[in-house]
Chains A and B, each alone.
Chain A
Amino acid sequence: MTRTQRERLVVIGNGMAGARVVEEILQRDGNQFAVIMFGAEPYGNYNRILLSNVLNGSQKMEEIFLNPLAWYEEHHIRLHAGVKATVIDRARRLVIGKPLRRSASAYGLDGCDQTAPAIEEPYDKVIIATGSRPFVPPLDGMGKPGTFLFRTLDDCEQIGAYAKRCRKATVIGGGLLGLEAARGLLTHGVGVTVLEALPQLMSAQLDPEAGALLKTTMEQMGVRVLLEKISTHVLGAEHVTGLQFKDGTTLETDMVVVSAGIRPIVEVAKDSGLIVERGIVCDDQLRTSDPDIFAVGECVQHRGVIYGLVDPIWDQAKTIAEVLTGVHPHAAYQGSKLATKLKVMGVELASMGDTKAARPEDEVVVYREPSRGVYKKMVVRDGKLAGAILLGETDTAGVLTQMFSLETVLPERRADLLFGTSSGMPILSVFDLPAHAQICNCNGVSKGRIKEAIQIGACQSVTQVGAHTKAGTGCGSCKSLILQLLEVYAGEVREDPSEHYYVPGVPLTKPQLIAAIKEKGLKSVSAVFRALADGKEDAGSKAGLASLLKSLWPGEYEDERDARFINDRVHANIQRDGTFSVVPRIYGGVTSAAELRRIADVAEKYQVQMVKITGGQRIDLLGIKKEDLPAIWQDLGMPSGHAYTKAFRTCKSCVGTDFCRYGLGDSIALSQKIERRFQGVESPHKMKLATAGCPRNCSEAYVKDLGAVAIEGGQWEIYLGGAAGGTVRKGDLLCTVKTHDEVLQYMGRFMQYYRENAKYLERSYGFVERLGIERLRDILVNDSEGICARLGAEIEAAVAAYKDPWATEAARPVHASQFANPVSVKADSEEARP
């Protein structure tokens, strides 16, 4: 079938609803329609709800696109991007549009480039998906430089750019969007004030008590909140300098973002003679007053309701698709029940339905914990959930949302719904959910699709499911359910053997690999590829192999620099902008005036962007250019702290017996011995240690990979597998010893055993958990396998092989271009040929 024979479907509006409805149609029938889209915004469709994340810096613009331009090409959709449809000529059955002027806002009332020729597209069917525009309350001086609305990618970009030049920003409107905007502005380093006309925040979703609590939470986060403030004038001659309020008072501010609600965009519909009230009036099949013209999304008025959230769009889009493709001509959209989640980093808040009791017989369940800013409330009607608020803790939000929208009868123990069951049993088993039940409301992803992603797409984690289906990538409130689905279905996924390979590129488990390497005497990464992977290099396997070989052949390992991660090529940690950080070694966190002076001199001489005290009891020089590294090391004259590599990192210490009135053992001397001995010893992952002078544990030794804690009677307890990073785990007690030397001995044994037996990138907390402390104690203390002597010797060899990379390579780089910065090349054809 050629395109000319196809029915012509013209979609007005290329936003979340417009693009989704086209996707739904193509899924059902890829050939029925030739699709033409008008989009006022000059982009492919992106996920508008993630603009908040773009503004607060947690996501980049490129990351929020749902339909990149390639998608339109792939599906032969003609996209008029940056073109606004002005009217539907129903007599001539044409949709007529004009390009927008460069400067014009996508949702402005005019903005078309009148000089440009009109674009006319004949249609058989039209779908209007024009969404809405921000509502601007009467406000004198709105529109002058420094005043903004928050709706589109362009808005987002402009707000971010302008904020850079500001000290104070003000957001008008204390609703979901206003608060998200406020939080976003905070990350741009401006002082933020939110103005709300009503006596509470988020009055649409919260009761007064929750509103008040939220206010406190926002204020603790650094956002100033002023209630019952009605702005009348934007002050400032050529740009914003302040705001004036109805009550006569004023507020100083450099910029103003107005988010006081939205209004459907209905001009096209109106000017084309369709019935329009507050929105475009549609029936249950989303048909407008013209049977060939449908509407979807925020511009729709359905059964008198206008929605301002994405969730309804998914059902509306399905309905239209079913009707238009004839798959189910009588499909009907019944309206949606709305749940929302505030996407403000640091605030957990979910809300749904009626949050205030409406009838005398309504049952209201409330839990308060002001000290932690926790407030939970359910309104139960006829045994079902009529509405809920979860503030400060939203673990059960996913489940509640399901029960709310599926109208399930609630379990007897209401508490379970707010806190999860005491038994740990899921409140609502995902089994009970029908396949079509929508799990992710932000992206409209059903249980069925997620199940598929897990079973067919072999997704193993919430993130993978997200990458595969977009589920969980909106407000995130459904993640707990996705996890449950993983637990249920991932089990059925046949696991693939490569899971157990030490590195993906060599089909051997770690023990097999080690055996093969030893047997064949393979001492370089390329040798391993040649001998064990039929010569096929694999970039992803290089660093892992290098780390293993280095620990297998101390001193003999044939180092190939290209197998190293950049950090290990230049002995510094690469940072977000491609610069590096330098962390010199400071044994046991004890430094000296002279060292500090040298650090200070270096910081000034090389205009170091930031000098920071690290969490590892030393000093980080951040934002350093690659080419400056060697000179800096030389000027510092201090050894590398190895903060950039998978190796022994630090040994933190408390002041111990030297000064502390509680000190039971000399923690400083011990930590310095430990650090001097094991510095730079490489391993499957980082090793961070600490010694504490007493069980008060000021240096956090209980939660380090290895820790030594002094106790009464001049003894030291040795702990293994502690963690206080992404994972928090108290270390397990290996044994109690008397002397510093014994501590060093047992720690050395463990390190070597860990180096030989842990998986690449397996931290000690995982390793110790996996083997169990009893087993380790048997091997390392009772010498059940008779390997302790060997372990001691091997670690000794590793210690002996250690060279400070800074000292060795600062003066003599391993390669002329080791620290080279980009080379400038003259690009004129003369000198082109050598």
Chain B
Amino acid sequence: MNQSPLSSVPREGTQSWYNGAVQCHEVDLGPVDFIPLGEGRAYVVAGRTIAVFRQRDGQLFASDNECPHRGGPLADGIVGAGKVICPLHTWKFDLATGRCLGEEVTIRTYLVREVNGHIVMEIS
């Protein structure tokens, strides 16, 4: 829950997760049609559980799967117009920015795109 603004500062007082040059690489998450149109599915990449959404218009989004409220699985949420609604208590998140609409939290989002029928995601 590091990117939750509520999370504690490490005792050193440095906000380590902000700085430090990040070096990205890409991961193939497999065929895009594994995800039914308009739904989301969860993937475990490098120990992180990530929700990937495939909107009806074909657009792909990815964010952390765990809802900062009470850990609801966002991949099971309802998606539309670039937003996802958590299945547990309906917190709503903008999938482009990760911003929660209504609450003061942000979830981490990831770059995903379709490369010849496969979902390719950038991670650091």
B87 touches A565 (CB 8 A): yes
A560 touches B38 (CB 8 A): yes
Residue in chain B with minimal CB distance to A70:
B5
B6 touches A68 (CB 8 A): yes
- Least CB distance from A825 to B in Å reads 5
Give residues of chain B (16-55) contacting chain A, Cβ–Cβ below 8 Å: 25-30, 34-39, 41-46, 49, 55
Q: Mark A817-834, 1 if CB is under 8 A from B, else 0.
A: 110111111110101111
Task: Give the contact stretch, choosing among A318-326, A440-448, A539-547, A789-797.
Answer: A539-547
A99-B12 in contact given A69-B5, A526-B56, A565-B87 (Cβ < 8 Å): yes
A562-B43 in contact given A62-B4, A537-B81, A834-B115 (Cβ < 8 Å): no
Residue in chain B with minimal CB distance to A82:
B11
- Which of A99, A578, A831, A832 has the most chain B CB atoms inside 10 A of its CB? A578
A834 touches B38 (CB 8 A): no
Residue in chain A with minimal CB distance to B27:
A827
Main secondary structure of the interface of B (DSSP, over half): loop
Residue in chain B with minimal CB distance to A570:
B76
Residue in chain A with minimal CB distance to B65:
A822
Q: Give CA–CA (A61, B88) in the complex, Å.
A: 18
A822 touches B44 (CB 8 A): yes
- Least CB distance from B29 to A in Å reads 6
Residue in chain A with minimal CB distance to B87:
A566
Asked whether A3 is an interface residue with its Cβ less than 8 Å from the other chain, the reply is no
Q: Give CA–CA (A824, B123) in the complex, Å.
A: 15
A62 touches B28 (CB 8 A): no
A102-B123 in contact given A539-B78, A817-B35 (Cβ < 8 Å): no
A537-B36 in contact given A566-B77, A832-B25, A834-B118 (Cβ < 8 Å): no
Asked whether B112 is an interface residue with its Cβ less than 8 Å from the other chain, the reply is no
Q: Give CA–CA (A60, B38) in the complex, Å.
A: 31
Q: Give CA–CA (A832, B46) in the complex, Å.
A: 13
- Least CB distance from B82 to A in Å reads 9
Q: Mark A546-562, 1 if CB is under 8 A from B, else 0.
A: 00000000000000111
Asked whether B58 is an interface residue with its Cβ less than 8 Å from the other chain, the reply is no
B87 touches A99 (CB 8 A): no
Asked whether A100 is an interface residue with its Cβ less than 8 Å from the other chain, the reply is yes
The one of B39, B68, B71 in contact with A561, judged by C-beta atoms closer than 8 angstroms, is B39
Q: Give CA–CA (A731, B69) in the complex, Å.
A: 37
Q: Give CA–CA (A44, B104) in the complex, Å.
A: 14
A576-B70 in contact given A537-B80, A562-B36, A816-B34 (Cβ < 8 Å): yes
A833 touches B9 (CB 8 A): no
The one of B5, B34, B77 in contact with A817, judged by C-beta atoms closer than 8 angstroms, is B34
Asked whether A81 is an interface residue with its Cβ less than 8 Å from the other chain, the reply is yes
Asked whether A775 is an interface residue with its Cβ less than 8 Å from the other chain, the reply is no
Residue in chain A with minimal CB distance to B54:
A562
Asked whether A295 is an interface residue with its Cβ less than 8 Å from the other chain, the reply is no
- Least CB distance from B3 to A in Å reads 11
Asked whether A766 is an interface residue with its Cβ less than 8 Å from the other chain, the reply is no
Residue in chain B with minimal CB distance to A816:
B34
A70 touches B104 (CB 8 A): yes
Give residues of chain B (55-95) contacting chain A, Cβ–Cβ below 8 Å: 55-56, 65, 68-73, 75-81, 83-85, 87-88, 92
What residues of chain B lie closer than 8 Å to A577, measured between beta carbons?
A: 71
The one of B8, B28, B36, B105 in contact with A43, judged by C-beta atoms closer than 8 angstroms, is B8
Asked whether B107 is an interface residue with its Cβ less than 8 Å from the other chain, the reply is no
Total count of chain B residues near the partner, CB < 8 A: 61
Asked whether A674 is an interface residue with its Cβ less than 8 Å from the other chain, the reply is no
Q: Give CA–CA (A136, B75) in the complex, Å.
A: 48
Q: Give CA–CA (A833, B35) in the complex, Å.
A: 19
Asked whether A65 is an interface residue with its Cβ less than 8 Å from the other chain, the reply is yes
Asked whether A359 is an interface residue with its Cβ less than 8 Å from the other chain, the reply is no
A578 touches B73 (CB 8 A): yes
- Which of B9, B28, B68, B84 has the most chain A CB atoms inside 10 A of its CB? B9
B80 touches A827 (CB 8 A): no
B92 touches A540 (CB 8 A): yes
Q: Give CA–CA (A817, B87) in the complex, Å.
A: 18
B87 touches A574 (CB 8 A): yes
- Least CB distance from A543 to B in Å reads 7
Q: Give CA–CA (A537, B11) in the complex, Å.
A: 45
Residue in chain A with minimal CB distance to B26:
A832
Residue in chain A with minimal CB distance to B55:
A537
What residues of chain A lie closer than 8 Å to B29, measured between beta carbons?
A: 823, 825
- Least CB distance from A580 to B in Å reads 10
A99-B78 in contact given A62-B6, A817-B34, A827-B46 (Cβ < 8 Å): no
A42 touches B26 (CB 8 A): no
A822 touches B81 (CB 8 A): no
Q: Give CA–CA (A566, B67) in the complex, Å.
A: 15
A539 touches B81 (CB 8 A): yes
Q: Give CA–CA (A543, B76) in the complex, Å.
A: 14
Q: Give CA–CA (A565, B118) in the complex, Å.
A: 26
B27 touches A825 (CB 8 A): yes
Q: Give CA–CA (A825, B36) in the complex, Å.
A: 19
Q: Give CA–CA (A834, B56) in the complex, Å.
A: 24
- Least CB distance from B32 to A in Å reads 11
B115 touches A833 (CB 8 A): yes
Asked whether B96 is an interface residue with its Cβ less than 8 Å from the other chain, the reply is no
Give residues of chain A (36-62) contacting chain B, Cβ–Cβ below 8 Å: 42-44, 60-62
B11 touches A562 (CB 8 A): no
The one of B9, B13, B80, B115 in contact with A539, judged by C-beta atoms closer than 8 angstroms, is B80
What residues of chain A lie closer than 8 Å to B13, measured between beta carbons?
A: 80-83, 99
Asked whether A76 is an interface residue with its Cβ less than 8 Å from the other chain, the reply is no
Asked whether A34 is an interface residue with its Cβ less than 8 Å from the other chain, the reply is no
Q: Give CA–CA (A576, B15) in the complex, Å.
A: 31
The one of B42, B46, B83 in contact with A823, judged by C-beta atoms closer than 8 angstroms, is B42
Residue in chain A with minimal CB distance to B48:
A827
Asked whether A436 is an interface residue with its Cβ less than 8 Å from the other chain, the reply is no
Asked whether A563 is an interface residue with its Cβ less than 8 Å from the other chain, the reply is yes
Asked whether A661 is an interface residue with its Cβ less than 8 Å from the other chain, the reply is no
Q: Give CA–CA (A815, B38) in the complex, Å.
A: 13
A823 touches B44 (CB 8 A): yes
A562 touches B37 (CB 8 A): yes
Q: Give CA–CA (A833, B25) in the complex, Å.
A: 10
A562 touches B76 (CB 8 A): no
What residues of chain A lie closer than 8 Å to B39, measured between beta carbons?
A: 561-562, 569
A62 touches B68 (CB 8 A): yes
A539 touches B70 (CB 8 A): no
B9 touches A42 (CB 8 A): yes
- Least CB distance from A116 to B in Å reads 9
A822 touches B36 (CB 8 A): no
A578-B72 in contact given A566-B77, A833-B28 (Cβ < 8 Å): yes
What residues of chain A lie closer than 8 Å to B75, measured between beta carbons?
A: 822
A44 touches B6 (CB 8 A): yes
The one of A99, A818, A822, A834 in contact with B11, judged by C-beta atoms closer than 8 angstroms, is A99
A825 touches B43 (CB 8 A): yes
- Least CB distance from B27 to A in Å reads 5
The one of A102, A539, A815, A826 in contact with B36, judged by C-beta atoms closer than 8 angstroms, is A815
Q: Give CA–CA (A43, B4) in the complex, Å.
A: 12
Q: Give CA–CA (A565, B39) in the complex, Å.
A: 10
A69-B9 in contact given A60-B70, A827-B27 (Cβ < 8 Å): yes
What residues of chain B lie closer than 8 Å to A562, measured between beta carbons?
A: 36-39, 56, 78-79
New contact pairs (8) apart from A817-B35, A827-B27, CB-CB < 8 Å: A61-B6, A62-B69, A79-B9, A80-B13, A536-B81, A562-B56, A822-B42, A834-B115
What are 21 A-B contacts defined by CB distance under 8 Å? A42-B8, A60-B69, A62-B6, A69-B5, A99-B12, A537-B81, A538-B81, A539-B80, A540-B80, A560-B38, A561-B36, A562-B39, A562-B56, A562-B78, A817-B41, A823-B29, A826-B27, A833-B115, A833-B120, A834-B115, A834-B120
The 9 closest A-B pairs by CB, nearest first: A562-B38, A539-B80, A822-B42, A537-B80, A68-B5, A70-B5, A827-B46, A566-B76, A829-B25
Please report A residues at the B interface, Cβ cutoff 8 Å. 42-44, 60-62, 65, 68-71, 79-83, 99-102, 526, 536-543, 560-563, 565-566, 569, 574, 576-578, 815-818, 820-827, 829, 831-834
